[in-house]
Structure 1
């Protein structure tokens, strides 16, 4: 095979991804890369489904005037919960969703809607909380009942306070939680590999991964500064603006990110563009 067939030959890339780790790794391996797998976080259903089910029943019986979906994961979790509950809940939920104007933060909730034959009525001008707020700034929200599907358990006070300040009645739901997916020792091993510059790049696909890595680094003798220095010696990739903003807030320079479509395939293309053999 030629370098064109395996453009990432000789490159080692660290992957802190969890949910689609094998898919992400396979895309890179097929292009010749060696991958270091270290899933930093896992996603689980909300431990108490009762509030999620109550929110869904409210959406069905008293449809919101507007629905804001921040993640595709949240919608998928609610649909799966409705399916497990049985009866007509899932069909009723999808039917109610169809009649509600839906604003998505980015492409992933839009993709989750399409899986059940629906589509977003609005897409935020940027796939961030600020993008959602900017999209709604010119609209009259007073008196509206607005449902908000949250990102994990983050209460997103910035968005909720904006909506409440605009006169809306806000109802939030948190269908899933983040949990540590690996023992601290495995995260330590990833940090050691970064400190030793044993990888050419690390590709982050969620802001939670960034926070988890920095959290463990702070406990170490070398501290956070050593990790930040190590990240400055390799290429740091972000799947999209939310992750890039988190990295920047931590003092990490982002070297590559897809320009518009914030998914793994475009991220792989950017890694090939920057790290590919010439």
Structure 2
């Protein structure tokens, strides 16, 4: 186990986009001496119209033919359970989940399910929608109707088309939204700080964070400023999927954890990166 050096990030300022576990990630960096710059790149809220969400929950509970449920994000299943709890349906919903084959995209939905005493039945061969599709084609049988807990408000047309091609009917639900229009001024301030070299590292944990940053830069004619800022700071990505997404959008990635794609390995990887850089600069 790696020792915690309280001065490991001393003098470093690390920008962290908002996320549901921001406080946990910030604390991991702060324990090692980092100054944290928080930025509301993405805020997540319950779907403003809860009627379709509750209707979906009721239908899921009552539908004996829906014995498969695809869960793309931990956020999605968490908000569904919370919605069921608010409307007095949580016991029936959890009971139905316990008798349903739960097909998860990656480890985060699995961790969310464990909070409620549930276990995923199947994890995708890789934590992507394409991985879910590949996994579905390997299963010997599917339920006639398959629930799909969507990623934000994205319809995920390829996944729904694959379910249809397999002879089943997708039954999607979108329990949360990204409120990316909020706090534009704070995002512009971050772009300015990046360009001026006031930030040492920027850690990305989800694709909507970069989408928000890029969309604000485009809308306010400061794309070159953002490009300059991203080129001069260390960019850390929580895992290879995030890293590949950034690279596809022209962003260089300096740090990716090796093998375990969670918050603490991300912090360790950035610490190792700077330690190796310091060794390379030191006189032999």
TM-score after normalising by structure 1: 0.91
The CA distance in 2 between the partners of 1:50 and 1:245, in whole Å, is 37
The CA distance in 1 between the partners of 2:260 and 2:145, in whole Å, is 31
Tell me, what secondary structure is at the counterpart of 1:180? coil
The CA distance in 2 between the partners of 1:193 and 1:31, in whole Å, is 22
TM-score after normalising by structure 2: 0.89
- The answer to whether the 8 A contact 1:218-1:224 is kept is yes
Kindly report structure 1 stretches of 4+ aligned residues shifted beyond 6 Å.
none
Per the TM alignment, residue 243 of structure 1 is displaced from its structure 2 partner at its CA by 2.6
The CA distance in 2 between the partners of 1:3 and 1:265, in whole Å, is 11
- Shift of the 104–153 alpha-carbon distance from structure 1 to 2, 3 Å rule, reads same
1:125 aligns with 2:105: no
Comparing 141-150 with 151-160, greater Cα deviation is found at 141-150
Equivalence for 1:93: 93
The CA distance in 2 between the partners of 1:99 and 1:142, in whole Å, is 14
Count of aligned positions:
274
Per the TM alignment, residue 159 of structure 1 is displaced from its structure 2 partner at its CA by 1.1
Could you report, residue by residue, the CA deviation over 1:12-69 in whole angstroms, capped at 9, with x for unpaired residues? 1111123222222121111011111112111110111111111111211114131110
Tell me, what secondary structure is at the counterpart of 1:217? helix
Equivalence for 2:20: 19
Per the TM alignment, residue 275 of structure 1 is displaced from its structure 2 partner at its CA by 2.6
1:236 aligns with 2:235: yes
Equivalence for 1:80: 82
Equivalence for 2:68: 66
The CA distance in 1 between the partners of 2:60 and 2:261, in whole Å, is 29
- Between the two structures, name the one with larger relative contact order (CA 8 Å, sep ≥ 6): 1
Per the TM alignment, residue 182 of structure 1 is displaced from its structure 2 partner at its CA by 4.4
- The answer to whether the 8 A contact 1:207-1:242 is kept is no
Could you report, residue by residue, the CA deviation over 1:62-83 in whole angstroms, capped at 9, with x for unpaired residues? 1413111001111111111111
The CA distance in 2 between the partners of 1:56 and 1:72, in whole Å, is 17
The CA distance in 1 between the partners of 2:161 and 2:97, in whole Å, is 24
Equivalence for 1:262: 261
- The answer to whether the 8 A contact 2:67-2:143 is kept is no
- The answer to whether the 8 A contact 2:4-2:32 is kept is no
Q: What is the root-mean-square deviation of aligned Cα atoms in Å? A: 2.0
* Structure 1 unaligned regions, length at least 5: none
Comparing 136-145 with 9-18, greater Cα deviation is found at 136-145
Tell me, what secondary structure is at the counterpart of 1:232? helix
Tell me, what secondary structure is at the counterpart of 1:80? helix
- The answer to whether the 8 A contact 1:17-1:204 is kept is no
